[in-house]
């Protein structure tokens, strides 16, 4: 494992976060810190609240009718629910890559340019530059540079997911939320995304949900194990995978779980 141990500043911090969907409580008092330039992996069985937690950080859950929240999330020490926090600005700073790749039915170029455009960039050379650099960052440039005008839907699944990563990077976020970004991909495409995560963490704070234990072990510095809406255990990935302090965590990681 690389330099996961030495502490960088806390970028995202949840404090006693409860989330309810109607009457059901999806998260129970989550307190969790994600450090800058580190990859934090969220693992746990299906339905334990990983996506809910992720979607709380960029307030995507606000769009769900009947969602209720208690507790806070701090971004750089500031409460993201402060009345003077602009949710549009928050979502620009906290990018998201979804479990199922969801490119717009527009050209490859327009997919990447979408974010900068809505935030007021209209100069063509600037847009060209953003499109090129973010596609390079997402390791897709060489495959698409000759057909930027082609429909994004003509790309393969793995390429589409990298396009979605490029699209998220194009608004220069500080935090990147990735909800099972490789779950629909073959091993080769998955390996590329994991490589990408390694490179991206030099510039971003990354939180990634994954069901793949090897993947969590490979890409993350810190791992958090969720179970039934609670944070059971969190610590350096190496320690969680070799010497977890809770029996439940060990059962889940070793596959002895349910």
Partner 1 sequence: MSSRIPGRPAGAWKGHAFVALCGAAAAIIVAMLAVILFDVVRSGWAGLGWQFLVSAPSEGMRGGGVGPAIFGTFALVLLMTIAVVPLGVLTAVYLFEYARPDSGFARAVNLAVSNLAGVPSIVFGLFGLGFFVRFVGGGIDRVFHGGELAWGKPSILWAALTLALLTLPVVIVTTGEALRAVPVAAREASFALGATKWQTISRVVLPQSLAGILTGAILAVSRGAGEVAPIMFTGAAYFLPKLPSRLTDQFMELGYHVYVLSTQSPDIEATKPILYSTVLVLLFLTFLLNATAIAIRARFRAALRPQDA
Ligand X SMILES: Nc1ncnc2c1ncn2[C@@H]1O[C@H](COP(=O)(O)OP(=O)(O)OP(=O)(O)O)[C@@H](O)[C@H]1O
In terms of DSSP bridges, do strands 67-75 and 78-79 run parallel, antiparallel, or are they unpaired? Answer: antiparallel
Distance from C-alpha of 197 to C-alpha of 237, rounded to nearest angstrom: 15
With binding defined as CB under 8 A, does residue 96 bind partner 1? yes
* CB count in 10 Å sphere of residue 8: 13
Distance CA 12, CA 173 (A): 13
Stretch that binds partner 1, among 22-30, 114-122, 137-145, 240-248 (CB under 8 A): 114-122
Contacts of 163 (CB under 8 A, 6+ apart): 101, 103, 108, 111, 112, 135, 138, 140, 144, 152, 155
Smallest distance from ligand X to CB 130, Å: 31
Closest distance of CB 137 from ligand X, Å: 26
Give the containing element (helix H, strand E) for 17. strand 10-21
Any contact of residue 181 with ligand X (CB under 6 A)? no
What is the smallest separation between the CB atom of 15 and ligand X, expressed in angstroms? 19
Q: Give me the least distance between CB of 56 and Mg ion, in Å please.
A: 13
Residue 62 or 128: which CB sits closer to partner 1? 62
227 bridge partner residues: 230
Regarding 100 and contact with partner 1 (CB under 8 A), the answer is yes
CB of 42 to Mg ion, least distance (A): 9
CA 123/CA 23 separation, integer angstroms:
48
Residue 235: phi and psi, rounded to 5, are 180, 180
49 binds ligand X (CB under 6 A): yes
- Residue with Cβ nearer partner 1 (182 or 234): 182
Which residue, 51 or 101, has its beta carbon nearer to Mg ion?
51
First to last CA, the chain: 29
Residue among 147 and 246 whose Cβ is closer to partner 1: 147
Q: Residues in the site for partner 1, rule: CB under 8 A?
A: 58, 60, 63, 88-92, 95-96, 98, 100-106, 114-115, 118-119, 153-154, 157-158, 160-161, 164, 167-168, 171, 184-185
Question: Binding residues for ligand X, per CB under 6 A?
Answer: 21, 26, 46-52, 64
């Amino acid at each position: 494992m690389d330099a996961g141990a030495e502490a960088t500043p806390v970028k995202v911090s949840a404090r006693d976060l409860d989330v309810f969907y109607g009457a059901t409580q999806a998260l129970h008092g989550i307190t969790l810190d994600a450090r800058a330039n580190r990859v934090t992996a969220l693992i746990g069985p299906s339905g334990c609240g990983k996506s809910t937690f992720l979607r709380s950080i960029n307030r995507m859950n606000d769009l769900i009718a009947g969602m209720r929240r208690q507790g806070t999330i701090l971004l750089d020490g500031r409460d993201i629910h402060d009345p003077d926090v602009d949710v549009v600005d928050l979502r620009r700073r906290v990018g998201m890559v979804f479990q199922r790749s969801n490119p717009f039915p527009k050209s490859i170029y327009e997919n990447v340019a979408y974010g900068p455009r809505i935030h007021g960039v209209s100069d063509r050379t600037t847009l060209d530059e953003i499109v090129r650099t973010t596609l390079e960052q997402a390791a897709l440039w060489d495959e698409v540079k000759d057909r930027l005008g082609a429909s994004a839907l003509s790309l393969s699944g793995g390429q589409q997911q990298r396009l979605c990563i490029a699209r998220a990077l194009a608004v220069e976020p500080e935090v990147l939320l990735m909800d099972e970004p490789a779950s629909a991909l073959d091993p080769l495409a998955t390996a590329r995304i994991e490589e990408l995560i390694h490179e991206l963490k030099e510039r971003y704070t990354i939180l990634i949900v994954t069901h793949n234990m090897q993947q969590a072990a490979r890409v993350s510095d810190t791992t958090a194990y969720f179970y039934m809406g609670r944070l059971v255990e969190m610590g350096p990935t190496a320690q969680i995978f070799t010497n977890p302090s809770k029996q439940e965590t060990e059962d889940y990681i070793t596959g002895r779980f349910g």
